[in-house]
Chain A
Amino acid sequence: MKRLIILTSLALALAACTQPTPAPAPPPAPAPGPVEPAKEIVMYNWTEYIDPEIYGQFEEATGIRVIEDNFSNNEEMLAKLQGGAAGYAVTVPSDYTVSIMIEEGLLAKLDHANIPNLSNLAERFTQTPYDPGNVYCVPYMWGTTGIGYDTAVMDAPESWAVIFEPDPASPAYGRATMLDDTREAFAAALSYLGYDINTTDEAQLQEAKEALIRARAGLAGYDSDTYEDLIAAGENVMAHGWNGDFLLAQEENENVGFAMPQEGGVVWVDNLCIPASATPEQKAAGEILINYLLDPEVAAQNSGFIYYASPNAAAEAFLDEEFLSDPTVYPPAELLDRLQYLRPVGEVESLYQRLWDEVKSAD
């Protein structure tokens, strides 16, 4: 019996060895004729990141039923696809994850002939640095990372200095949080220091690490999940975070504000992509869904529902003025140039992580 167990496990371990990488499903061969789109597809999305009514409308219009799977961050979704999970027709990675997925061969090229609504995109979103020409993906929603604050207690922060030069006299001292996210935290520090937020220079990263450690004195903690609620509840006064979160918090407390420091910071875009592992039928149906989401009226309905800025220029005609002029949704035009995308930094990620671990355990 014991031998049997050992043999079995060895055989399986060997099986695991002989086939090194979990083979990314063979790229679907271009079908000879038109492909019949799948009747039921799975969309791999962030939770509550689409107006749920849209699925019903889409099914009515096209006869394709959409099931939604959820992930809570890019890394989980990426690891799952890298591990070989298949069956998704559409997924929604952020910009730098798109770069990684392209490099790792995890995304399929889009057939632009199936997505005529692509022309509705604003110019800026057709030439993104991570996917120029929308070869692999279509921008879905976009936003920025800045500083949210309690307008009743403090003025709009103009500089990252409010975080990196903690002032015991400030109402935010000891009542501020930073994102518990390696790249975002470093991007804030690097912006403050005037460096490229995607730097791979170790000296600059060390300097950023020192700044992050100095900031600790004024922080209540690092938080990526509940920071906006803590401001709305009056527990904290200031938080480094994503603009969409503060928008949601405004529903509970109108004194929640959002500012983009003048040094600039991170702009992010979530994108609709089709995994390379999708079958031709799933891919065809996925492209129909992407095209549908790019329809100006649908895009406006969706954007208005989840309250994120839409990269769809044609949709603006269907969005109300109040939404379009909301400074939390749309950063001031003069700042747009100073916003950058996070890009993957390759194996320097290990250095980022090591330095971040030092920041987290500094005291």
Chain B
Amino acid sequence: MQQFLRRHPAVQAWLLLSPGGLFLSVFFIAPLFIVLIYSFLQRGTYGGVVWQFTFENFRRVFDPLYFNTFLRSAYIAILTTFFCLLLGYPLAYFIASRSPRTRSLMLLALMIPFWTNFLIRTYAWLTLLRTNTGLINTALLSLGVIAAPLPLFGNDFAIIVGLVYGWLPVMVLPIYAALDRLDPSLIEAARDLYASSAQVFRRVIWPLSLPGVVAGSMLVFIPALGSFVTPAILGGGKSLMIGNIISNQFLAAHDWPFGSALSMLMMTLMLLGTLYYFRSTLKAEADA
């Protein structure tokens, strides 16, 4: 048996993959066919579908309105990812540089705020950010730091604050997981060769942490792109997000086939983007 497995690594791979793979095939891929099939059917008047084949849904998908919304959502998501990385990388590094026991406790401390309820957390930000009566503006006004309230609420700034807050731990976790692997002796070796801190970071630490950065960016970018509750509450709902459009098709417009078509298109685009992003970033680093 051992011999057989060693000689056939592909069999090993499939053995490892089969529990998760089977689970996802039955409980995700098979149901996914429903979305795929629905995207080619006609709408039932009030939800559900009529079993008539049509390409109409995919024709409607190519609407400049939806395309622009997609671009806008991508813009918000890119900014969110950027700031999550900016805040999350040093935080992950900080945690990874503690003693092993402290690390686990800090990881817990990182996640515990998110075991409270999402809506309540978002309302807490509302309390802080509101333009005329928010705690931040009130404090700054009474201290005389500013003369008029800052526009902290009901705009892209508030949306991005809310999203960065919500997804920061998701950026930190994979970077931490990658950094924790760092062997201190590598850094010492570099130091012994009189490398500067910047050099140590650029040549040793950053490349090793890159898989974490790539994974974290993906885990932040995708949900941020599809988000709509945070934009609705903190952004004042004055602009549309792609997650909103899709959700509205299923619920408000009772148009399941069109919602399915939009979902399929978005998934295809994002999947191609994700696979390309993973491959190119990691490959470029491997080549360097």
* Interchain CB contact under 8 A, A221 and B236: yes
Q: Tell me the nearest residue of chain B to A21, going by C-beta.
A: B48
Number of B positions contacting A (CB below 8 A)? 52
Set B18, B51, B238, B255: member contacting A350, Cβ < 8 A: B255
Closest residue of B by beta carbon distance from A346: B45
Given contacts A221-B235, A221-B238, A104 and B131 within 8 Å (CB-CB):
no
B93 CB to nearest chain A CB (Å):
37
Partner of B236, one of A222, A352, A357: A222
- Selected from A8, A223, A344, the residue in CB contact (under 8 A) with B46 is A344
Bound-complex Cα distance A100 to B46 (A)? 7
Q: Are B33 and A9 in contact (CB under 8 A)?
A: yes
Between B14, B47, B250, B258, the greatest number of chain A beta carbons within 10 A of the residue's beta carbon is seen for B47
State whether the Cβ of B102 lies closer than 8 Å to any Cβ in chain A.
no
A222-B240 contact, Cβ under 8 Å, with A16-B34, A233-B130: no
Q: Is A358 an interface residue (CB 8 A)?
A: yes
A314 at interface (Cβ–Cβ under 8 A)?
no
Q: Which residues of A contact B51 (CB under 8 A)?
A: 20
- A180 contacts B132, C-beta separation under 8 Å: no
Whether A5 sits at the interface, judged by CB under 8 Å, is yes
Q: Please determine whether A9 and B29 come into contact, CB atoms closer than 8 angstroms.
A: yes
Contact B46 A78 (CB under 8 A): yes
Within B118-154, the residues touching A (CB, 8 Å) are: 123, 126, 130-134, 154
* B199 in the interface (beta carbon within 8 A): no
Number of A-B contacts (CB under 8 A): 137
Q: How far is the CA of A230 from the CA of B18 in the complex (A)?
A: 52
B5 within 8 A of A: no
> What A residues does B238 contact at CB under 8 A?
216, 219, 221-222, 360
Interface residues of B in 44-58 (CB under 8 A from A): 44-49, 51
Min C-beta distance of A328 to chain B, whole Å: 23
Question: Which residues of A have CB within 8 Å of B252?
Answer: 75, 181-183, 349, 353
Interface string of A213-226 (1 = CB under 8 A from B): 00010011111011
Complex contact B37–A357 (CB within 8 A): no
Bound CA–CA A230/B153 (angstroms) = 12
**CA of A354 to CA of B188, assembled, Å:** 61
Find chain B residues with CB under 8 A from A82 CB. 46-48
Can you report 21 A-B residue pairs in the complex whose CB atoms are below 8 A from each other?
A: A1-B18, A16-B37, A21-B48, A75-B251, A76-B251, A78-B46, A78-B254, A79-B250, A100-B254, A104-B44, A182-B252, A183-B252, A220-B236, A222-B236, A225-B232, A235-B132, A349-B253, A349-B255, A357-B66, A357-B69, A360-B239
Residues of A whose CB lies within 8 Å of any CB of B are 1-2, 5, 8-9, 12-13, 16-17, 20-22, 73, 75-76, 78-79, 82, 100, 103-104, 175, 177, 180-183, 216, 219-223, 225-226, 230, 233-235, 344, 346-347, 349-350, 352-354, 357-358, 360-361, 363
Chain B residues close to A by CB (< 8 Å): 14, 18, 21-22, 25-26, 29-31, 33-34, 37, 43-49, 51, 65-66, 68-69, 72, 123, 126, 130-134, 154, 232-233, 235-240, 244-245, 248-255, 258
